Amino acid sequence: MELPPGPREDPCAWDDDSDPEPEPDPDAQAEAYVSRVLSPPQFGLAPLRAPPLSAPAAFSGAPEPRPTSKGPSVQFPGLLSLPPELLLEICAYLDARLVLHVLPRVCRALRDLVRDHVTWRLRAQRRVRAPYPVVEEEDFDWPAACIELEQHLSRWAEDGRWAEYFCLADGHFASIDSVLLLQGGTLCLSGSRDRNVNLWDLRQLGVEPSRVLVKALGTQKNSTHKGWVWSLAALDHRVCSGSWDSTVKLWDMAADGQQFGEIKGKAAVLCLSYRPDILVTGTYDKKVTVYDPRAGPALLKSRRLHSSAVLALLADDRHIISGSEDHTLVVFDRRANSVLQRLQVGPAQGLEGPGLHVAQPELLYPSSLPQLDSYLLCMSYQEPQLWAGDNQGLLHVFANREGCFQLVRTFDVGHRSQITGIKHSLGALYTTSTDKTIRVRPSDRLHPLLARNTPLDFACCPPPGARAHRPTTDHLHPKPSQRAKWAASGGLSLEVWRLQA
């Protein structure tokens, strides 16, 4: 039997005898569903976006949500409805690591805000209040720079009063000229004029003082070397020591500091650079010599690049850079096996005193000038920036631009005599000098963070009446969970600062 014609079948209206209602807005319906079913009940507050897998709320008396329309106030309720400028101001009070790694997981709007490098550039410049970085880079890592800068400022906050200080005075009987931190700052090596390289276990600081000094490296009866130990370098667990006895000795710290090689040269070894494929030495006889540490070590080549002793040295995959008492900086191209550049180092003019003072490059390297009195003693390289300290207490910054190193700036950082140690990174600068001070500051503004005679200008003073000597430093950049350590020498003692995490 055929049924009489009736209303069109509507699955949504089978159990509803009332008149059909207007078709709802699907977006408003979805938002109402999320608010009603997937959000936990909150009394007196309008529900925000809920976690995607929340359990349904068992609240029978909840009022039906008010219909909403599409717009920014719905997509970005509450905090996210603020202008980006206010969001950035709020984020400035949060830890940089949290902003970088946690906020992008909250929502797309915060992810886009955090991924914008302009955000991090503004944040960094707000911290340093000076042109940053010193060398302009197209692919500069602004988030990493902010994290390191803020970590550095946090560790040295409140006049550095939270840094623990230890003075280890019983290991050497002559001046310490080289210091090296190893294995995340747990171990330390010190090279001295008493011809020994001592191994220190810094984990025992404040715990078992008698166990801090482990031993002197080597099997010789009286000393590690037969001359003053002047330089140390490391690659992973392998360490090399250079001495005035014209030898370089190699040590394996994974094998309890056992010696696994020795290089016998013809002149005192004043500086070292240790790479996976090469070991480079700078010597008193004006030569830069390259060895293969994997084979013997075997001599690869030796070049007389200078007319006086080689005082500073570093190497990377492309270059070997050396500074000499002949007032020159030489850049050697490893791939072309030839000298790429030879720059003359001269004193800066127009520097009036400590702080941020910049000399014009054309005043520093006039093509017609003869040899001048300034020469480099130490270098720190993080491509494309090369920072170098000279014998007049000045700091020079070079930029590697398409394989050509150019002087960018020269700073007076407040040292009164030779700068003998330098460590530069994205967010910090550390320098030491024969004026017996260590200066710690953000790398861009080059001002002491605090007034003089505070813990930030560390005094590395020898005993009264002792002659001035060559203080050295090695700075560690630890993981966030580790405690940073500073080790320095200013005399017969090794001095260690352990910073807050």
Confidence of residue 54 (pLDDT cuts 50, 70, 90): very low
Confidence of residue 89 (pLDDT cuts 50, 70, 90): confident
Sign of CA dihedral 356, 360, 363, 364: positive
Residue-level pLDDT at 63: 46
Cβ neighbors of 290 (< 8 A, separation 6 or more) are: 278, 279, 280, 299, 300, 301, 302, 320
> Which is higher by pLDDT, 355 or 408?
408
CA atoms within 13 A on the CB side of 397: 25
For 321, phi then psi, to 5°, come to: -115, 130
Closest CA to 473 of 429, 442, 443, 413: 429
More confident residue, 321 or 150: 321
- The per-residue DSSP string of 214-262 comes to EEESSS-SS-SSSS-EEEEEEETTEEEEEETTSEEEEEEGGGTTEEEEE
Question: DSSP state, 209?
Answer: G
Greater confidence (296 vs 392) lies with: 392
Residues 6 or more apart whose CB falls under 8 angstroms from that of 394 comprise 347, 348, 351, 374, 410, 411, 412, 413, 419
Q: Give dist(CA 435, CA 415) in Å, integer.
A: 7
Choose the weakest-confidence range: 236-245, 413-422, 449-458.
449-458
Average pLDDT over residues 339-357: 60
More confident residue, 182 or 69: 182
Specify the amino acid at residue 189. L
At residue 16 the predicted structure's pLDDT band, cuts being 50, 70 and 90, is very low
DSSP letter assigned to residue 183: G
Q: Which segment of 181-195, 213-227, 357-371, 413-427 scores lowest on mean pLDDT? A: 357-371
Crossing angle for the helix pair 108-115 and 117-128, nearest 10 degrees?
A: 60
DSSP state of 177: E
On the question of pLDDT at 264 being above 90, the answer is: yes
pLDDT single digits (tens) 437-484: 888 877 444 433 322 222 222 323 233 333 334 444 443 333 333 455
Determine if residue 480 is left, alpha or beta; phi over 0 gives left, psi from -120 to 50 gives alpha, anything else beta: alpha
DSSP letter assigned to residue 490: S
pLDDT at 270 over 50: yes
The answer for residues whose C-beta is within 8 angstroms of residue 217's C-beta and 6 or more apart is: 189, 196, 197, 198, 199, 224, 241, 249, 251, 257, 259
Q: What angle do CA 148, 151, 154 make, to 5 degrees?
A: 150
What's the whole-number average pLDDT of the chain?
75
pLDDT of res. 24: 58
Q: What six digits make up the tokens of 75?
A: 């997509």
Q: For the chain, give the longest Cα–Cα distance.
A: 123
Burial class (CB in 10 A: 0-12, 13-18, 19+), 47: middle
Q: What is the pLDDT of residue 199?
A: 95
Which of 290, 312, 310, 317 is CA-nearest to residue 301? 290
What is d(CA 220, CA 201) in angstroms, rounded to the nearest whole number?
22
Maximum average pLDDT range among 42-46, 78-82, 125-129, 267-271: 267-271
| CB-based contact 63:35 (threshold 8 Å) | no
Q: Quick: pLDDT tens for 350-397.
A: 443 333 333 333 333 333 333 446 899 999 998 889 999 999 999 999
Average pLDDT over residues 409-422: 89
List, as one string, the DSSP characters of 42-108: -TTS---PPPTTPPPP--TTPPPPPP--SSHHHHS-GGGGS-HHHHHHHHTTS-HHHHHHTGGGT-H
- Percent of the chain at pLDDT > 70 equals 68
CB 67 within 8 A of CB 25: yes
Does residue 206 surpass a pLDDT of 50? Answer: yes
Question: Does this model's pTM top 0.75?
Answer: no
What gap in Å lies between CA 413 and CA 394, rounded to an integer? 7
- Six-digit token pair at 145? 């720079």
| Per-residue pLDDT tens over the stretch 301-317 | 999 999 999 999 999 99
